Homo-oligomer: A and B are copies of this chain.
Amino acid sequence: MDVSIKKIADHLEKEVSIKGWVDNFRSSGKIAFIILRDGTGFIQNVLVKNEMSEEEFNSIKDLTYEDVIDIKGIVKENKRAPGGYEILVKQFKIIYHYDKEEYPIQKKDHGVDFLLNHRHLWLRSKKEFATIMIRDEIIKAIRDYMYENDYILLDSPILTPTAPEGTGSLFETDYFDTKAYLSQSGQLYQEAGIFAFRKTYCFGPTFRAEKSKTKKHLTEFWMIEPEIAFCDLNELMEIEEDFVIYIITRIIERQKNNLEILGRNIEDLKKITSPFYRISYTDAVKMVNDGGLKMEWGEDFGADEEAIVSNHFDKPVFIHRFPKKIKPFYMEDDPEDPKVVLGVDLIAPQGYGEIVGGSQRVHDLDKLLKNLKAAGLPEENYKWYIDLRKWGSVPHSGFGLGLERTVAWITGISHVRTAIPFPRMINRIYP
């Protein structure tokens, strides 16, 4: 019976069959080691000349990377083998072999651009495999959290008729006899949803045609955006915290092996417990200035400023109540200080920066109209959004969590480009 490497421990000392791809191999005259990959994991196979047919043992000399093999053997415990188990091979067959060209990704250092050009093959490598496995689990944790907590998935459209916050960073396409823009956020549509479903979310690809070339920017990335009726800023922070802890807990529980492959310090992740720290923008500005970086009240944080703040803490920190003038029109004013709005960013520790941005939304019709005017945004572009403040308007809040930044943080990788299967950046749209 074919078994999967993921469940190999269930078959200790038993004979199993596995089909998969050759990730690596080495051989002396009498013993050979093959690292086999079956799509669920990696395992070491030991081939001893005297333990199998000579013909089969000798066929190893033809082996090359990515050959497909079918092996039969006994599962053994081996503390020194990666993963703790290995297979003592009894039968061995090459079922697919290609040697007209050398496999592009050799066991040596390649430049990252070369690897990204071969992303369709690079995904087979151990660390890329581990990263995508953790991404898959993070996404499932997100969907489970939403489902268990009664959020209804309300997919926001990607093709949108107007450019909510200006066209500067939007991808545009002809849409029959008009124009369409690829969505940069599904938030406004979620705000329509909460009056029907109370708690909604969207979770889809999001597009920003920004010329940013940083380790935190993709032109196409995934974002989850929950929105909650009858929810204020304080409750929002509680929800964000609960949500992030749920994700982290799941990953620690179910992705230990893959975290280890990536060399992620699990102890650092275990520190991500309730409560997160909460400081006001005003206090954060003071912290930045005290940390030696000059910054005026009213300026926005950059990566360096965020780093100074987050370095004070070993777990995520909320920065709340930003100056109204640097935040979008839909954020609610702080009733205690009209210079600031009830917005909040969540900054991950260890320099991973902002992973969540959220706010309480303006729910009063007149205030919304005033804010649109002040921002120079034409009312006719927000016709249906304004309707939401006429019928059944209630206080509500929501946030957006950037998936790839979260994956990068949890896996400990240095750049969001490998936190997604096929990254899109200013200079990359292949493969």
Q: Which residues of A contact B (CB under 8 A)?
A: 4, 6, 19, 21, 37-40, 65-68, 95-96, 98, 100-101, 103-104, 118-121, 123-124, 128-129, 132-133, 135-136, 139-140, 143, 147, 150, 152-161, 171-176, 178, 180, 182, 189, 192-199, 204-205, 207, 209, 211, 219-220, 222, 229-230, 365, 383-385, 387-388, 390-394, 420-422, 424, 426-427, 429-431
Contacts and interface: CB of A to CB of B under 8 A. Distances in A.
Nearest to A162: B430
A178 B429 contact: yes
Contacts of A158: 158, 205, 207, 220
B161 A384 contact: no
Given A39-B197, A173-B182, A222-B155, A96 B392 contact: yes
Nearest to A125: B196
Max count, chain B CB within 10 A of own CB: residue among A96, A101, A365? A96
Contact of A155 (B173, B211, B420, B430): B420
A173 B172 contact: yes
A175 B424 CA distance: 10
B384 A430 contact: yes
A146 to B, nearest CB: 9
A129 B196 CA distance: 7
B139 A192 contact: no
A154 B176 contact: no
Nearest to A177: B427
A229 B155 CA distance: 30
A71 B421 CA distance: 49
Contact of A123 (B139, B193, B430): B193
A120 B390 CA distance: 12
Given A173-B171, A197-B132, A189 B422 contact: yes
Given A37-B196, A139-B153, A171-B175, 14 more contacts: A21-B392, A39-B198, A40-B197, A95-B394, A96-B393, A96-B394, A98-B391, A103-B391, A120-B384, A124-B392, A132-B154, A133-B152, A136-B152, A178-B429
19 contacts: A39-B194, A39-B229, A40-B150, A66-B391, A66-B392, A98-B390, A120-B385, A120-B387, A120-B388, A123-B192, A124-B196, A124-B392, A155-B421, A157-B220, A159-B219, A159-B429, A161-B429, A171-B174, A383-B431
Contacts of A37: 196
A117 to B, nearest CB: 9
A199 B39 contact: yes
A427 B120 contact: no
A124 B195 contact: yes
Contacts of A21: 195, 392
A421 B154 contact: yes
Nearest to A133: B152
> Which 3 residue pairs spanning A and B have beta carbons closest together?
A39-B198, A66-B391, A384-B431
Contacts of A157: 220, 421-422, 424, 429
A98 B193 contact: no
Contacts of A173: 171-173, 182
A235 to B, nearest CB: 13
A140 B100 CA distance: 45
A205 to B, nearest CB: 5
Contacts of A139: 153
Given A173-B172, A421-B189, A196 B128 contact: yes
Nearest to A178: B429
A10 B426 CA distance: 54
A205 B40 CA distance: 27
Nearest to A176: B426
A367 B206 CA distance: 37
